[in-house]
Amino acid sequence: MQKRKLGKSGLEVSALGFGCMGMSFSYGPPKEKREMISLLHRAVERGITFFDTAEVYGPYINEELVGEALEPFRGQVVIATKFGWKIDPKVERGLAGLDSRPEQIKRVAEASLKRLRVDAIDLFYQHRVDPEVPIEDVAAAVRDLIQQGKVKHFGLSEPGARTIRRAHAVQPITAIQNEYSLWWKRPEEEVLPTCEELGIGFVPYSPLGKGFLTGKIGAGATFDKTDFRSQLPRFTPEALKANLALVDLLQKIAEAKHATPAQIALAWLLAQKPWIVPIPGTTKLNRLEENIGAIAVELTSDDLREIESAASRITVQGARYPEFHEQMTGR
């Protein structure tokens, strides 16, 4: 497994990480625990050292799963988790608004340390920017935790470029985690150039477009109400039908490379910058192996130009989030 460093931080991780959310949250009911532990063990065996979770996934049960599964590999793996939500189990998906007050950040850190069964959180992201709390106060709270040895690295998820600069001036940021893929390229406008300038790593979540870029979701796909894609404008039947043009493009490139559409989508991300580390998630062993196979796919500069040119002629239909959630990004 190749390794990459997240910016200038010195934090080295596998070139491909593992997003653990779907094991417990958002994509239907939580999966069988023993199976997921076995899958996480297999990921470590195959060289993956970077695992992503959050207190709100479940809530809480995903951190507990990751903590139990990775406890035998303490010191060999990097675990990222997140703070920043008010959690109320009575509210749908547990999301009851934002809360990044410094005292709350410190409470979350203590609880996450216990659930993850670690002495220090490797990478602690603010899950969404809280407009009620100055980002300088957030960065200072994490800086305190770093000085106390409870956190090693600071990150932000879905911030705008100005917020990144303000936070970085207080406590250097190791990584930004935003959605980024061939069907959501907004980070290229401001966030990626800011990361490059400041020496910050970039961790794309949903690098496979929440499953769409694998080519396994057809125009007639439907989603159970327990699957959050049932609420996303980009996954309506009309949008899915229109967006299949992007999958067709990936399929064409994949056939020429003896690869799969998912592998091309991941290889495209890996080819963008050496400090980008995608975190595809899965609950299936064959998909894990497929994702890892993307590292061996070489896209030439001609391949990349062809993909960019063809993708630029495709207009992706549908917003990526409902308006309420989209308002929480890019702040």
Cα separations in angstroms, 294 against 162, 232, 263, 279: 33, 27, 4, 12
Contact between 106 and 112 under an 8 Å Cβ cutoff? The reply is no
Q: Tell me how far apart the alpha carbons of residues 36 and 34 are, in angstroms, rounded to a whole number.
A: 5
* 8 closest CA partner among 190, 150, 261, 198: 198
- Known active-site residue 57: yes
Backbone phi, then psi, for 247, in 5-degree steps?
Answer: -65, -40
Catalytic residue among 57, 60, 180, 205: 57
* 317 closest CA partner among 200, 237, 204, 258: 237
3-class secondary structure, 261: helix
Question: For the chain, what percentages of helix, strand and coil (3-state, to nearest 5) are there?
Answer: 45, 15, 35
How far does Cα 327 stand from its chain's mean position? 18
Q: Other CB atoms closer than 10 Å to residue 41's CB: what's the count?
A: 14
Enzyme catalytic residues: 57
